[in-house]
Structure 1
Amino acid sequence: MYTTSSVFLKTLEQAGITHAFVNWGSDHPALLEELERQRTENGKAGLQIITCPNEMVALSAAQGFAQACGRPAAVLVHVDVGTQSAIVRQYMRYTCQINSGRNVSQVVLRGLQSALSEPKGPVYLWARREVMEEEVSEDLATASIDVTTWTPVEPTAISESAANTIASSLLNAERSLIITSYLGRNTAAVQKLVELSDRLAIPVLVSCPTRVNFPHSHPYFVELTFGMAPSHWLREADTILVIDSDIPYIPVFNKPRPDAKIFHIDVDVLKDNIGMFHINAQLRCKADAQLALTQILDHIPSDVASNARISTRAQELREVSAQRIANLLSLEAAVPSDGSFTVPNILRTLRTSIPVPGRTLFLNESISNYPLVWDHLQPELPGSMFSSGSSSLGWGLGASIGASLARNDLDLIVLVVGDGSFLFGVPASAFWIARKYKTPFLTVILNNGGWKSPKLSMLGVYPQGHGSKVSGNQLTVGFGPDTPDHSQVAVAAGGAWGKRVTLASELEASMKEAVDAVRNEGRCAVLDCVIESI
């Protein structure tokens, strides 16, 4: 017997979906029956099924899978919590209800077409269990599906006049600047950005990064910001290219000078799903970054770097870069006199403990320590570090599982996470999944004993208020005074290696043990690093 579920699963498989992260419920009898029919008749199911005891972990794993390899994965959830479509619709690229087995293939393929067209994002399909149990004919269930006619929209370029205008402005600028946040989602675009920066000695400012957009050791990498600190690079620039950025700057804290020429290139240049978004750009282009940068480069002479103005700027940027790196190294070397350690100390130890940097993937969910993690891990290769990019917390543990399933070429996966986000990630479920499906990864917890971001937000509004004088525990954003040993949750749930460290003298050896447990023993490791409490 074949059902709508038979056609649904076959369509996913033929469309190239390989993994389904599932949270089974009483709504899924036909799906469970169809998968077992496949195992009986074919020896295995068409999809690799990853059982996830928690929906948050399932969704995060699917997201991490897609971020790591660029291919989508499926998530199956159930009943009211899992299928409140009015709530999730605003986060989706496309939503649709499956009403019949006769058109389920078209609905699935339409959804994937939207998911893979820029701006890429999740799609949401839902169906009643009665529909999924509807019997269909064998001809419908076994018919081949032509997925080649459901291709996503091709990337778009900018006009030649726009390319010429932007190139000319950058070429003639005295103080140019490039700002980006997620250009590195397309790793091929990073090399084009490097080429443009090199050719004209243009400084690159990375704002609220979610990807590796520019090599952190590059002499023209001048600043990483999350919008709050003053930036003279932004304030003094006469020509600014904003490319692939949701938050290039926050006008309350920073804004360009009034006469600055600003050009904005993005696959979602108007930010249609954001209530208010505006920058004072002279030219806006809805386009793919790689194609646009290639066009701009075509309008700039390849030998222009010999220009005296550009060569002088290049030397100045190298000096700035050398000082920036020296400052970071100084922070890493400064160990507190009480024998504890700082976040830069931890990150230096982690960075120098990585055996094969070129085959290591970092996931960053450090929240209040985001800037430090990006700066001190110094990611170089496109695709070697990413963060969630969404507004929710608890992504990292599940995403590490998904990334491990997506990338068998990696030597090591490392998650750097705050203690609050670690708990949001449902560690009991996550480490159970990791053990069952053999997806080992290293988790380094930056444990400040609570939620620092709410406290920082309060201090931003009331810097001298009542709350500024008390601890996080008094404010009720702390987890103390007796905080749990988070590493032991992973040990109990998934047989992980786990240890809490509080002293700088323990840090290096403990980090090596943790790395070895993942690489040599094939199990997760959690290093709970206790830093200054909030």
Structure 2
Amino acid sequence: MAGRTRCRSLSFLGVLSCVGSPLSSMYTTSSVFLQSLANVGITHIFANWGSDHPALLEDLQRQRSEKDGQTASQIITCPNEMVALTAAQGFAQVTGKPAAVIVHVDVGSQALAGAIHNVDRGRMPVLIYAGASPFTSLGEMKGSRNEWIMGLQDIPDQASIIRQYMRFTSQIESGKVATGIIHRALQIATSHPKGPVYLWARREVMEEEVELSAVNTTVPLRKWPPIEPTALSVAAASTIARALLEAKSPLIVASHPGRSKDAVPLLTHLSTQVAIPVVAVCPSAVAIPFSHPYFVGVTYLNRGSHTHHLAKADVILVLDSDVPWIPTLQAPNPEARVFVLDSGDPLKTISAVTQWHIDAEMMCNADVVLALEAINAAVDAQIETCNAGIIDERRTSITAEHNELVRKLDGLENAWRQDMHSGRPTIPNILGVLRRTIAEQTPSRSLDKTLVLNESVTNNPIVWQHMRTEIPGGQLTSGGSSLGWGLPAAIGAHLGASKNYELIVAIVGDGSFMFAVPSSVYWIARRYETPFLTIILNNGGWKAPKMSMLGCHPSGYGSRAASGVELSVGFGPDCPDYSQIAVAASAGWAWGKRIGGDGGNVQEELTAALAEAVRVVIEERRCAVLDCVLDAL
């Protein structure tokens, strides 16, 4: 076959050998796959390579040879699969666009680990592709088995490993259908409720030869649009607006509306018009600017931590929330009128949550932006008929409550310990200095061009409030509960939207630094020049399991444990030197320092260290890691 590479079986070696001109052009299903991804707008592929990917690697090198060293989509080599998927999630979170991830057979699919949970619960559109072990073993087809591991990696239902977290799974069985399958997968991934999709193919299929015309065939993406966002009915919008206007004590519970940045000004307008307090419950994105006078704080629903407005509210509007309250800890007024709005999955059936219920008058499957537009319009049309006196009273009382919140935060940030020899700052100390340092050293002299990735776990609400984020999308969490999101997400965010930010800060704690596989993260950061600042809130272990134990056994044996180490949730007595892990992983490129616990003046030490760390990231374009030693849990 002229101009093509030929394959023959070398039975005495038990391998396949490909012979022919090394420069001859050959197009395969892998060519179609990669070009189709580029055609639909996939700009970044986070890849962890394996024995199922020869044709993909070959085609990427063909692209480089034909395109001055470039590939149609940028390839980000990731030594760890969970890091790859999490970086793709971070990319999608800041761009709103899907990324792709390539992993290796069953083991690579399994190694995606907790990132699968996060990308599902976070509702981020990511296309995952995994190769599969060859199904031929005697050289019948190109790509047939030629390595011992292929006999171990062949399982009957590879997609079942992660199917329950996916919006769609499918096998690519020929290069002739690859483009259509990719289009369908992304059509589903980008429709509400957005989320991950999983494609897989046998090695022989990806090695299947195709004509150049198959690679060059462009299927218009406009023919595969995502489902149009669902609007709120006029009747529902009018009912909700009337309830809010007639309420004496309304409340808005917001968790994820800020995933759509356009929702933030709409929610702000609604809150302002009717003087409705807004509480952020387990948020994944900024719902309303911190400085808004009717923002009353953040809660992660620890016992007694929900806003006091919950118990007295007579009308509650719940926006894109997975868990707006926990009835056994704090429940709303049983007579309250509750309205639930969710962008695509109000009953959590697609999310496959087995036990889920909210006592509500109305459940609405509606895009949060369209819903808020409709409610605002209905409020504006009816507001002249409401009791202006009640609204004015709320304005005064809620503004006073917000001002008191700010006063308390200021006090905590400035309350340095009198015993300076303890050498340990509090988290408010750290965040107050960090915020002021950003305002002093970034080019804009503000926090408006800083992205905060918050994975401080048990300290999530403290970080949310003390960072005082104003802009939509300015602070994010994973939207899930698997640790290890923050550091890889910083890489993805930088690759996706570095032009939008002067500084990216990952604030991690409760062991999430170790979960993030820092040896891979900081290597990738150096390789692809994605500098970010890491702040480690180092409490010496995992506080979350200790808190869970105390929630069930407040006065049991565990409550009397002398330390986290004794309880087996601590990393002491000699904790890892986290900052130097980053330095070593990046071959000395990252800057790292540990502060606290050395008996010095911690206020001066912290101020100087943060100033240097921010300078290193902004001016030298290197990662900086500041390990802040806190009181041990």
Asked if Structure 1 and Structure 2 have the same fold, meaning a TM-score greater than 0.5 normalized by the shorter chain, the answer is yes
Following superposition, the deviation at residue 317 of structure 1 comes to: 0.7
Indicate yes or no: 2:71 matched with 1:45: yes
Following superposition, the deviation at residue 396 of structure 1 comes to: 1.0
* CA distance, structure 1, for counterparts of residue 308 and residue 393 of structure 2: 19
Which structure carries more helix by proportion?
A: 1
One of 371, 393, 396 as aligned partner of 1:315: 396
Following superposition, the deviation at residue 296 of structure 1 comes to: 1.0
* CA distance, structure 2, for counterparts of residue 433 and residue 297 of structure 1: 45
One of 293, 301, 306 as aligned partner of 2:380: 301
Indicate yes or no: 2:281 matched with 1:207: yes
* CA distance, structure 2, for counterparts of residue 162 and residue 179 of structure 1: 18
One of 482, 485, 499 as aligned partner of 2:593: 499
* CA distance, structure 2, for counterparts of residue 448 and residue 258 of structure 1: 39
- Listed as ranges, the gaps of 5+ residues in structure 2 are 1-25, 110-157, 597-601
The 5 A counterparts of 1:401-440 are: 401-409=491-499, 410-418=501-509, 420-440=511-531
Q: Tell me which residue corresponds to 1:251.
A: 327
* CA distance, structure 1, for counterparts of residue 629 and residue 603 of structure 2: 10
Q: Tell me which residue corresponds to 2:188.
A: 114
Higher relative contact order (CA 8 A, sep 6+): 1
Corresponding letter in the other structure for 1:521? E
- 30-39 vs 138-147, which deviates more? 138-147
Q: Tell me which residue corresponds to 1:221.
A: 295
Matched residue of 1:472: which SS?
A: coil
* CA distance, structure 2, for counterparts of residue 242 and residue 419 of structure 1: 29
* CA distance, structure 2, for counterparts of residue 228 and residue 527 of structure 1: 28
Following superposition, the deviation at residue 177 of structure 1 comes to: 0.4
Following superposition, the deviation at residue 39 of structure 1 comes to: 1.0
CA contact (8 A) 2:288 2:295 kept: yes
Identity %: 54
- Per-residue CA deviation, residues 458-495 of structure 1 (Å, 9 max, x unaligned), is 11111111111121000111110011110001111112
Corresponding letter in the other structure for 1:54? N
Q: Tell me which residue corresponds to 2:255.
A: 181
Following superposition, the deviation at residue 298 of structure 1 comes to: 1.2
Following superposition, the deviation at residue 505 of structure 1 comes to: 2.7
CA contact (8 A) 1:228 1:250 kept: no
Q: TM-score, normalised by structure 1?
A: 0.98
Q: TM-score, normalised by structure 2?
A: 0.83
One of 334, 338, 347 as aligned partner of 2:415: 334
Q: Which runs of 4+ in 1 moved over 6 A?
A: none
Indicate yes or no: 2:98 matched with 1:17: no
- Per-residue CA deviation, residues 318-362 of structure 1 (Å, 9 max, x unaligned), is 111111110111111111233221011001111111124111101
Corresponding letter in the other structure for 1:484? P
The structure that has the greater radius of gyration is 2
| Paired residue total | 534
* CA distance, structure 2, for counterparts of residue 408 and residue 419 of structure 1: 27
Following superposition, the deviation at residue 154 of structure 1 comes to: 0.8
- Per-residue CA deviation, residues 10-46 of structure 1 (Å, 9 max, x unaligned), is 1100000000000011110000000111111122210
* CA distance, structure 2, for counterparts of residue 42 and residue 497 of structure 1: 36
Matched residue of 2:85: which SS?
A: helix
* CA distance, structure 2, for counterparts of residue 150 and residue 51 of structure 1: 29
Corresponding letter in the other structure for 1:32? L
Q: Tell me which residue corresponds to 2:99.
A: 73
Following superposition, the deviation at residue 306 of structure 1 comes to: 8.5
* CA distance, structure 2, for counterparts of residue 508 and residue 490 of structure 1: 21
The 5 A counterparts of 1:264-303 are: 264-267=340-343, 268-272=345-349, 273-301=352-380
The 5 A counterparts of 1:442-481 are: 442-470=533-561, 471-481=563-573
Following superposition, the deviation at residue 255 of structure 1 comes to: 1.0
CA contact (8 A) 2:510 2:543 kept: no
Following superposition, the deviation at residue 430 of structure 1 comes to: 0.5
- Per-residue CA deviation, residues 403-454 of structure 1 (Å, 9 max, x unaligned), is 0000132110000001510001011110000001000000000000111101
Following superposition, the deviation at residue 148 of structure 1 comes to: 1.2
CA contact (8 A) 2:297 2:465 kept: no
- State the Cα RMSD in Å: 1.2
Following superposition, the deviation at residue 249 of structure 1 comes to: 0.5
Indicate yes or no: 2:319 matched with 1:235: no
One of 550, 575, 580 as aligned partner of 1:488: 580
CA contact (8 A) 1:157 1:291 kept: yes
Following superposition, the deviation at residue 93 of structure 1 comes to: 1.1
- Per-residue CA deviation, residues 153-208 of structure 1 (Å, 9 max, x unaligned), is 11111111111111101000000000010000000011110000000000111100
* CA distance, structure 1, for counterparts of residue 402 and residue 558 of structure 2: 38
